[in-house]
Structure 1
Amino acid sequence: MGRGDLSNEEWARMEPCLPKNVGRGGRWMNHRQVINGILFRLRTGIPWRDLPTRFGKWQTIYDRHRRWSADGTWDQILRAVQADAHAEGRIDWSMVSVDSTVCRAHQHAAGARKQAPRKPGKRTRPTQHRPDEALGRSRGGLTTKIHLAGEGGLRPLAMLVTPGQWGDAPQMIAVLERVRVPRPTGGRPRTRPDHLSGDKAYSSRRNRRYLRRRQIKHTIPERRDQRAHRQRRGSNGGRPTGFDAARYARRNEVERMINRLKIYRAVATRYDKRAYVFHGTVTAAAVRLWLRS
């Protein structure tokens, strides 16, 4: 076992979550070796072609990672390991925090096709993926933003990839809608935390109305301009928002979780052209955090 490879304990927890060997040709053989190759690239950020030969053919490793990113296999694996942690009582639902982080995109991450390749005798169909590929332009160059919801144990529950210039508040609901942890006894998955924390970027009437409708207690500081606007309206402005400073102090947990996630160089810097492949890269890093906890 090389440095960074799956340990026997981690493999024992991950193996039941992997897709079974279906189809002809032994398509899903050597899962462990291929996943170790994906983790090696995830940790080092090297090009796929430069993977060491001990992991096998680089094309096989890349194709499997791309396929699992496209069909949602990485998301299913993440939910499976979350379900195991939930069954063992290792998820801290008492405080779930939302935050985002900006990742610089390498110049090779740009230039993805906007249309599917044309076949002789067939019309050109538009690609099924996003036209912007979650790439935003700023003074610093191309950027991508990762929106996350993390639990108190410094592990991500859900994530969303958007262009770097997109705001945080409009994405909060979309991130929370992705929180779906299966219950060990069956039934509907758990989607609602006991308490939610976020910084001023998430302070909006739409977000607070959504949290009240779902009966989620929250600690989000009110922005100064919003407080002044509410006070100018007098009694029509509504009641002041509650704020618990002691609970808000735990917001550092999501920032520490982001630091752990961006230890992986393929997450800290985006090298993937397609947004769905980069989402799979971030999800694979999240799976590794859950396995190591």
Structure 2
Amino acid sequence: MSRGDLADAEWVRLEPHLPKSVGRGGRWKNHRLVINGILFRQRTGIPWRDLPTRFGKWKTVHDRHRRWSADGTWDRILRAVQADADAEGRIDWGVVSVDSTVRRAHQHAAGAHHLSAWIPGHRRRVPQHWPDEAVGRSRGGLTTKIHLASDGGCRPLSILITPGQWGDAPQLIPVLERIRVPRPAGGHPRTRPDHLCGDKAYSSRRNRFYLRRRQIRHTIPERRDQRANRHRRGRNGGRPVGFDRRRYARRNEVERTINALKRFRAVATRYDKRAYVFHGTVTLAAIRLWLSP
């Protein structure tokens, strides 16, 4: 086992959730070797063709990551690993924080112009859900934004990829809707945290109404212009927004989660041309955080 490879304890947690067959009676081979190759590329950010030969053919490693990103295998594995952690009591639902980070897109990530792509092992084109490939253009160049919700243990509960210029407030609801932790004993998956923290970027009447409707207590500071508008309207402006400074101090947990994800160079800088592949790259990084003891 080399530096960065899956440890035995991590492999024991991951192996039960990996797909067993490839279709038509075929079976996957060398799951652990291939996943270690994918993790090596994520950690170093090297081109796929420069992958060391000890991981086998680079195209095998690349195609499996691309296929599992396209068919949602990485997402299913993430939910399964979260379910195991929840059953063991390792998820801190007390305070869940939301935030986003803008990642620079490498020049190799630009230029995708097809709305569908060939997926290895499939006979037809698979339509993509990102017509803009989640690449935004601004004064800083090509950027992609990662929105996420993190539990109190600094591990991602949900992930959303958008172009870099998209705002944070409109993405709060989609991020929370992606929190679905299955219950191994049966029943509906858990989708609601006990308390939610976010910075001023998430302060909006739409978000607060949504959180009240779902009975999610929250600590989101009110922006200065919103506070001035409420004072201007007088009695019609509504009550002041509650603010728990002690709980808000725990918002650093989502910042630490982002820093942990950025330890993977393929996450800190986007090299993937397709948005669904980059989403799989970030999801696998989140899985690695959940596998760590």
The size of the alignment, in residue pairs, is 287
Task: Find the aligned partners of 1:81 and 1:126 in 2 and give their Cα distance.
Answer: 26
Q: Which amino acid aligns with 1:224?
A: R
CA contact (8 A) 1:21 1:29 kept: no
Task: Find the aligned partners of 2:95 and 2:116 in 1 and give their Cα distance.
Answer: 43
Identical amino acids, percent of aligned pairs: 80
Cα distance change of structure 1 residues 236 and 175 upon mapping to structure 2, 3 Å threshold: same
TM-score w.r.t. the length of structure 1 is: 0.95
- Quote the RMSD (CA, aligned, Å): 1.5
What is the SS of the residue equivalent to 2:21?
A: coil
Cα distance change of structure 1 residues 250 and 135 upon mapping to structure 2, 3 Å threshold: same
CA displacement 1:153-207 (0-9 Å, x = unmatched): 0000001000000000000000000000011321100000000000000000000
What is the SS of the residue equivalent to 2:100?
A: strand
Q: Is 1:194 matched up with 2:201?
A: no
Task: Find the aligned partners of 1:114 and 1:161 in 2 and give their Cα distance.
Answer: 18
Aligned to 2:145: 145
Task: Find the aligned partners of 1:148 and 1:116 in 2 and give their Cα distance.
Answer: 26
Task: Find the aligned partners of 2:116 and 2:189 in 1 and give their Cα distance.
Answer: 36
Q: Is 1:231 matched up with 2:231?
A: yes
Matches within 5 A, 1:98-113: 98-113=98-113
Q: Which amino acid aligns with 1:58?
A: W
Structure 1 residues without counterparts, runs of 5 or longer: 119-124
Aligned to 1:166: 166
Q: Which amino acid aligns with 2:58?
A: W
Task: Find the aligned partners of 1:50 and 1:167 in 2 and give their Cα distance.
Answer: 36
For structure 1, which segment, 184-193 or 212-221, has the greater mean C-alpha deviation from structure 2 after superposition? 184-193
1:24 positional shift = 4.9
Structure 2 residues without counterparts, runs of 5 or longer: 119-124
Task: Find the aligned partners of 1:230 and 1:247 in 2 and give their Cα distance.
Answer: 24
Matches within 5 A, 1:53-72: 53-72=53-72
CA displacement 1:262-292 (0-9 Å, x = unmatched): 0100000000000000000000000000001
Task: Find the aligned partners of 1:115 and 1:58 in 2 and give their Cα distance.
Answer: 25
Matches within 5 A, 1:273-288: 273-288=273-288
Q: Which amino acid aligns with 1:177?
A: E
CA contact (8 A) 1:86 1:184 kept: no
Aligned to 2:29: 29
Task: Find the aligned partners of 1:117 and 1:240 in 2 and give their Cα distance.
Answer: 50
